[in-house]
Structure 1
Amino acid sequence: MLHSDTRRLTYADTDPAGILYYASWFPKMEALWSDFLFRNGFRQDRSLAARGWTTVTRATQCEYLVAARLFDEIRLELRIGPAGTTSFPLEYRMVRLDDDALVSRATTTIVLVDGAQRAIPIPPDFRSRLEEWAR
């Protein structure tokens, strides 16, 4: 595991029955990734000006395995998969702390783009960081 955070589900995360609303995972996944980048010196708000590139999400997929409910405490885990030419996968797991149940797992594909939003090859310095993080 590369990075993790623990969150308690709130009313805003659930549907009227008190069960996790499926779309509420996506902002939590993005927040985990943004926090990881920030802690490692890669500020997304400055990346384009400082490095000439930024990251965007190209695709996302999420599997829901067991129900999560209002006030469940969930650990979100982040891993990075092997990088391609212009993109790399982020892998997420959401685990309920009370019973260690795997609630869901997800993958997002991140692409590096220039100021015109065109995909660019991953620069060698960032690629080496990705490879380090993936180990």
Structure 2
Amino acid sequence: MLHSDTRRLTYNDTDPAGILYYASWFPKMEALWSDFLFCNGYRQDQSLATRGWTTVTRATQCEYLVPARLFDEIRLELRVGAAGTTSFPVEYRMVRFEDDALVSRAKTTIVLVDGAQRAIRIPEDFRRQLAAWAQ
């Protein structure tokens, strides 16, 4: 795990039956990813100007495995997978703090793009950083 955050579920996240509301999880995952990048010196608001590229999400998937109740504390965990030519996966786990139950797992595919929003090869310096994070 590279980065994590713990959040208490609100009614926006789940209903009284423990059914997770899918639309509330993706913003939490994106916030964890943005915070991780920021903490590691990669500011998304400056990346295009300073590096000539930025990141966009190309694909998402999420599996909901067990119910989570209102006010459960959930630990969101982030991992980075092996990079391809222009993209790499970011993997997430949502774990209930109380019993360490895996509530859901997700993956986003991140692509590097230039100012015209065209996919570009991952630059070697960033590729090395991704490889270090993937270990």
Please state which band the TM-score falls in when normalised by the shorter chain: over 0.9
- Please list the CA deviations of residues 1-50 of structure 1 after superposition, one character each: whole Å capped at 9, or x if unmatched: 11111010112223475642122110010000000000000000000011
Tell me the TM-score normalized by structure 1.
0.96
Number of aligned residues: 135
Looking at structure 1, the residues matched to 95 and 39 of structure 2 have their Cα atoms a distance apart, in angstroms, of 23
SS in 1 for 2:50: helix
Looking at structure 2, the residues matched to 130 and 70 of structure 1 have their Cα atoms a distance apart, in angstroms, of 35
Instruction: Name the residue aligned to 1:125.
Output: 125
Equivalent runs, 1:21-100 vs 2, <5 Å: 21-100=21-100
- Please list the CA deviations of residues 100-130 of structure 1 after superposition, one character each: whole Å capped at 9, or x if unmatched: 1100001100000000000000001111100
Q: Where in structure 2 are there 5+ consecutive unaligned residues? A: none
Q: Are the equivalent residues in 1 in contact too, given 2:15–2:69 (CA < 8 A)?
A: no
- Please list the CA deviations of residues 62-118 of structure 1 after superposition, one character each: whole Å capped at 9, or x if unmatched: 000001121010000000100000000001100001111100001100000000000
RMSD: 1.2
Q: Are the equivalent residues in 2 in contact too, given 1:11–1:18 (CA < 8 A)?
A: no
How many percent identity over aligned positions? 86
Looking at structure 1, the residues matched to 66 and 19 of structure 2 have their Cα atoms a distance apart, in angstroms, of 10
Q: Where in structure 1 are there 5+ consecutive unaligned residues? A: none
